[in-house]
Structures are given as structure tokens and as C-alpha cells.
Structure 1
Amino acid sequence: MPETVLVTGGSGYVAGWCIVELLQRGCHVRTTVRSRDKEEAVTAAVATQVDTADRLGFAVADLTADDGWDAAVKGVDHVLHVASPLGGNVDGNADAMIAPARDGALRVLRAACGAGVRRVVMTSAANTASPSSYATEGTTDETLWTDPDDPTLIPYRRSKTLAERAAWDFMAAHDGPTELTTVLPGAVFGPILAPGTTGSVDIVRRMLTGTMRGVPRIGLEIVDVRDLADIHLRAMTSPRAAGERFLATGEFTWMLDMARALREELGEAGRRVSTRQIPDLAVRFAARFLDPSLRDITPALGRRNRHSTAKAHRILEWQPRPARETVVDCGRSLVAHGAV
């Protein structure tokens, strides 16, 4: 019998591609949405890639509430916990992001363990395995944990670290059959399924529309959303993946090189992309006096430290595609969907 997999947060960018990959491999999929009015949009987005037939179902559940999770996991074999709250530090209250991420992960795990789900694969982030100080050089792997008590951490980074730690602590105290694996992606780009599910690719959209009039000296470890969906499924099915963390970062690429790739490959659609490098001093000045939202990116200026994906290659035989291909496919997809 085909396996049934629950994917949390079905309206999200990464979750949508996980659903596509699962359906393409013959699985039945149930996905959570916060309200029934999102079902049609999710179905339409997924249907652009694969026939949903009768193999895609929905459950209403929210990370901030207990209701609905027991019903969501009933009868499923595996869970891909991809959903995570987005947003920032609301009125100085970091808990606005931290509590939903941590408590939401625990709600999913409690329900999954109670239902006897075989394995939960949880999407974390590469910045939960990074030096807290944003070291400018060096390579780290899954053995490193970001210090959540570092006062310089932005709320998103702290929320992902605390949520993953809480998940591992919960599983350490659980003696049932359910297993946990975590996937730690880098910067996620690639094709979109629908204009309303752009996720992290807004950077590319802003480049293409010309609203990003210059690029800061920031490097990203770019992973294609299709490759990220693939590693989730590998982590779900590999016997050796149980109880493991897997970094899922791709090729290190400066934002300037992203801009150049879009200009060179997209023709007329890329004409508004700026390839002007913004000096670090100008970014820091703007963050301090003009645009406080830039403060979150200033620690990353000039940073070159990388994450090793040797473990994912060795255990899961995972190999991401080149970053340039991902960026260009992302741009073409945004144009094709009328998102720019």
C-alpha cells in the first residue's frame, strides 16, 4: 500500500515542493492549513507539477493551538514538519516568533508520537549550526550548535535553534517507536509554484523589479527548493537517517554573482537587475540612521564561513545542483508566473 505522509504548512514554499515530490513518488499526502479557504490555492499550485488525483488531502491545524493535530496525524506513516512561523521581533518581543516555533514543533511531535508515526523529519535551518559570532572564515558541520543565549542573534535564528533543541530534548525523553531527523537548509531559492508562495525568493524578485538598487557584500549558501524537497524524502526513508541532523546547504554565492547571473541569462527580463556593489560602510550607516530593518544583515557583511554537507552526501547520497542554475530557474519562474 502507498505510504501516507503529513506535510505541515501546505501553503508554504518548501512544503509545496515537498508535496509535489511525494505525489510524484506515489505517496498519499495530507497537509495542514490554517483554514479551509487555503485548500483550493494549495491544490492549484501543486497541480501545476503533478496530478493530485485523490491522493492529496487536508487537515486544519495551527502551530499556535493544540486543536486539530491529533486528527492531522491519524493514520499517517511519516511527518514532514516543514511549517514555521514567519515574522520579526514584534514590539521588542522576541517570543512573538520563538514561542510558536518551539511550541509548534512540540505539538507536532506529541501528536506524531501519540499516533505511532514512524518518523518525523523536521525542517530546521543551517544557522542553528553556525558560529554565534558570524565568523568570517571556516567550515562547520552538524556537531556545532548555535548558542541561543547570544544576545546578537536575530529572533528568527534564535527561534529555529530553540525549536530544534526542544524537539531533540522531547525525543530524548520519549521511548516509543517514533524517530526524529532534522534537515538544516541554507538560503532556499528555485522555481515557485504560484505567485503567492514565493517564500525566500523575494530577494530575486526585488532584484528583477529593480527595487534592489545595489547588492550588499553578503554571501549565501544557496539550496534549490527541489533539492531541499529531495533531501527531506531521503531523510524520511533512509534507515541510517534516524536520530540525525543533516545540513542541506548548497554552493556559496555572493549576492553580486546572483545579480550578474540574472542579468546575463534572463535577457530583457533581467535588464533592471543592479550589479552595483554597496560598500559595507554604506549598509552600516543606513542600518543605523535610515533603515533599522537592515540591522539584521550587517553581521553577515563579508562573511565567508561555510557549512559542510559531507554527512548528507555520505549517508543520503544527496547532491544539490549548482547555485547559478537555481538562481536563473528562480528568476525565470517569477517572470513566468507574473510575479515581477
Structure 2
Amino acid sequence: MEEASSTPSTGNASNDQRVLVTGASGFIASHCVQQMQAAGYAVRGTVRSLANAKKVVPLYQMCPGARHKLELVEADLLDDQLDNWKEAVSGCTYVLHVASPFPNEIPTDEQVLIKPAVEGTLNVLRACAEVGGVKRVVLTSSVAAVVGQTAPDFNKTYSEADWTDLQQDVGAYQKSKTLAEKAAWDYVNKLPEDKRFELTTINPSYVMGPVIHGSTGTSQEVVGRLMRHEVPALPHISLELCDVRNVAQAHIRAMTLPAAAGQRFIINSGGMWFKEMATLLDREFRPQGYRVPTLSAPKFLASIVAWFDKALQMVMPRWGQQLHFDNSKMKNVLEIQPYPPEKTLLDMAYSMVDNELIPRTAQYKGQPTAS
């Protein structure tokens, strides 16, 4: 399969235009920042605190040869006074709103996720409308806003025309992404003509790939737990995934392509069973001193565990089933070819060891240059 270029085409727009990236220190956003700097854009990023060196320093080091030095400003998703957001948006032609909470466990109060997702999105859009000058906003949504039901239709191929049915049993994260995206479309569609700007949404599946921002997060949990041998056995569950480099490409191409305005784009490479992922990692890393679990868990045992593990409880209806997504708009409109899932997984694992997010063994040799 053809691999996507690491430097995206940026259409006919001038690369000297300023782009705001919210949540710049996050997994997806850091790749957006790096790719845009490499393409010559002037990039401004928001972070919660400029004093957090662990989050900030890696951002300045990602693209040392950039034409424009990265600019970072502080902003909070729940700052409804909008002062910081209006300052952040000022002078920007495009806005990539990437910041949104992504939990590694189900919260007791779903509003912990829903409030910052919905209100944060609306605060950024309000700032764009009030300041003016923004041509297009690209919002990071998720396939969780396409299909988030506990028991979806596995015989169906889901597309951008589909929405998560909030009348069914839906998890807090799925609800937060659905409500946030719907709120965004509703807000922009109701803007008066003199304040209106274009909106596009990116709906990735489970995002994996190389870590460049120097810290761990929910997206790294699967690989981290397998590599650290923190799971005794593997559930017969499939993970529909995409590469973070493709997701960043999608944001940048959707930012300028005329055909992308007013559209949703599913970003998905395909599905991998946990057994497939573990076997691939074990084959690659066992000679380097790692012991990745490859034993399959019996369904009856997993069902018992699910009584005490809400995260497992949510995915048990997907046991032995795979979701299917139509990624034709990703390939035909944005002209992005997905990375092979196997490469995505290995690149992620190597980057996590290299960034010391997974302990190094004495036998670790690093990623072969040819891979």
C-alpha cells in the first residue's frame, strides 16, 4: 500500500498565513504543528500553561528549521470570557480546533468530558466570529460521533452521513464528541453572513502512530500496556485505527481545499484484532528483550471481569465483531493514502521506547532504518 507523504499539499493558500492550533501539546495537535511548520506556515498554538516545560519544550524542538518560529499562548477551553481566545484567534486565517478531553477510563460524571468538549468548542467558534478574519475552522471530531452505540450494526459500512444515536446506550466519550460536533455545525450554520466562516470536521478512528510530543496519553495506552506486559490475556476485540500522521495531513488539507468546506471526513486505515497487534509486537520486540502477551482470553472469563471493569463492559458487545468505515472521502477528496496499520503500530512502539514512555531493555536496538 502506498504510504502518505509526511509533508501535506497545502493547496493554493500562502504558507505565510497564520494558523491557530488549539491544544498544541496533544498527540494529534503536535503532528499538526510539525507538519504545518515544515510546510512553511506561521503557527500559533494554545497550551494550558506556558510554565509546563514538559509540555512546551518539545513543541519548540519539533521543527528547528521552520521558516516561522512557533508561537505559544495560554488559553483554557472553559474560559467563557473569551479574552484569551480572542487574542489567540486574532490575525489567524485558519483555526484547527484539536483540543478535547480523551479519557483513559470512564468518568463517574459524564459532564467531566461533555462540558469541556461542547463549551470549549463553542468558545473557540465564538472567538472566531467576534474577532473576524478566520476563513475556515477545522474541528477534530471522531468516529465516536459517527457510531458510538454500545451495540452497533456490524453488517453496515458507516460513512460521514451517519451520526451516533444518542437515544441508545452511548458512552460518555461518544456522547461528548457527538454533542460537540453537532453544536459546532449548529452554531456556524446560524451565524449571520457577516460573521460566518467555513467549518470542516475530521473524524478519526482510534489514533495511533509515532509520539513526537514527549508525553504519554490515552492513545498510547494499548501499545504501552502490551509492551509492558500489563495484560494477562487478550480479548477477541478489534480496534479500528488510523495513523496520527494521516490525521494531521487531513487537518491541513481540509483547511485549504475548496471541496472540503462544509464536509466531514472519516480517517481510518482498517481494523486489527488485539491478537494481531500483540503478535506483531511480540515478533518485532521479543528479540529485543520484551515479552508481549499473546494468550487469548476466554469470553466467559472476560465477561466476569467486565462486571468490575466498566471500560471492558462497554466493548463486550463487540466481541468477535469488526466495525467498518467508508474512508473513500479521505482518499478521493483529501487524496490521502492510509499508512498500513502494521507500520503505524510499530512506529508507535519504537517512538514510545525512544521517548522513554516504555522502559528500554538491555537488548533494545532501536528501529531498523529500512522499516
TM-score range normalised by the length of the shorter chain: over 0.9
Cα offsets for 1:282-330 (capped at 9, x unmatched):
2221011x43442233233222121101112121111111000000111
1:171 equivalent to 2:188? Answer yes
Structure 2 gap segments, 5+ residues each:
1-13, 359-371
Correspondence 1:210-225 to 2 at 5 A: 210-225=229-244
Give the C-alpha shift of residue 276 in structure 1: 1.1
**Which residue number corresponds to residue 190 of structure 1?**
209
**Which residue number corresponds to residue 248 of structure 1?**
267
1:94 equivalent to 2:110? Answer yes
Cα offsets for 1:86-120 (capped at 9, x unmatched):
335543x2222111101111111111122230100
Cα offsets for 1:136-170 (capped at 9, x unmatched):
332110001111232x2110011000000000011
Of 274, 284, 292, the residue aligned with 2:293 is 274
Instruction: Please say which of residues 202-211 and 309-318 is displaced more in the overlay.
Output: 309-318
Distance in 2 between residues matched to 1:335 and 1:90, nearest whole Å: 29
Give the C-alpha shift of residue 194 in structure 1: 4.0
Distance in 1 between residues matched to 2:207 and 2:57, nearest whole Å: 22
Give the C-alpha shift of residue 270 in structure 1: 6.3
- The 3-state SS of whatever aligns with 2:51 is helix
1:329 equivalent to 2:347? Answer yes
Is the alpha carbon distance of 1:315 and 1:194 closer, same or farther for their aligned partners in structure 2, counting shifts above 3 Å? closer
8 Å Cα contact 2:243-2:339 kept in structure 1: yes
Give the C-alpha shift of residue 53 in structure 1: 6.8
**Which residue number corresponds to residue 309 of structure 2?**
291
Structure 1 gap segments, 5+ residues each:
none
8 Å Cα contact 1:19-1:29 kept in structure 2: yes
Alignment-mate amino acid for residue 130 of structure 1: V
Of 68, 90, 99, the residue aligned with 1:74 is 90
Distance in 2 between residues matched to 1:143 and 1:21, nearest whole Å: 29
Correspondence 1:14-53 to 2 at 5 A: 14-38=28-52, 41-45=55-59, 47-51=61-65
Alignment-mate amino acid for residue 182 of structure 1: T
Q: What's the RMSD between the two structures over aligned residues?
A: 1.9
Is the alpha carbon distance of 1:50 and 1:263 closer, same or farther for their aligned partners in structure 2, counting shifts above 3 Å? farther
Alignment-mate amino acid for residue 311 of structure 1: K
Of 311, 316, 320, the residue aligned with 1:302 is 320
Is the alpha carbon distance of 1:277 and 1:45 closer, same or farther for their aligned partners in structure 2, counting shifts above 3 Å? farther
Give the C-alpha shift of residue 274 in structure 1: 0.7
Distance in 2 between residues matched to 1:155 and 1:299, nearest whole Å: 17
Is the alpha carbon distance of 1:327 and 1:49 closer, same or farther for their aligned partners in structure 2, counting shifts above 3 Å? farther
Is the alpha carbon distance of 1:19 and 1:270 closer, same or farther for their aligned partners in structure 2, counting shifts above 3 Å? farther
Distance in 2 between residues matched to 1:89 and 1:339, nearest whole Å: 23
Cα offsets for 1:249-304 (capped at 9, x unmatched):
1121111111111111234346311111112222221011x434422332332221
The count of residues paired between Structure 1 and Structure 2 equals: 337
Is the alpha carbon distance of 1:40 and 1:3 closer, same or farther for their aligned partners in structure 2, counting shifts above 3 Å? farther
Give the TM-score normalised by the residue count of structure 1: 0.93
**Which residue number corresponds to residue 123 of structure 2?**
107
Alignment-mate amino acid for residue 266 of structure 1: F
Cα offsets for 1:5-63 (capped at 9, x unmatched):
10000111111111000000000111111112136633424524543575211121111
Distance in 2 between residues matched to 1:194 and 1:22, nearest whole Å: 15
- The 3-state SS of whatever aligns with 1:333 is helix
8 Å Cα contact 2:148-2:170 kept in structure 1: no
8 Å Cα contact 1:192-1:333 kept in structure 2: yes
Is the alpha carbon distance of 1:227 and 1:41 closer, same or farther for their aligned partners in structure 2, counting shifts above 3 Å? same
Alignment-mate amino acid for residue 326 of structure 2: S
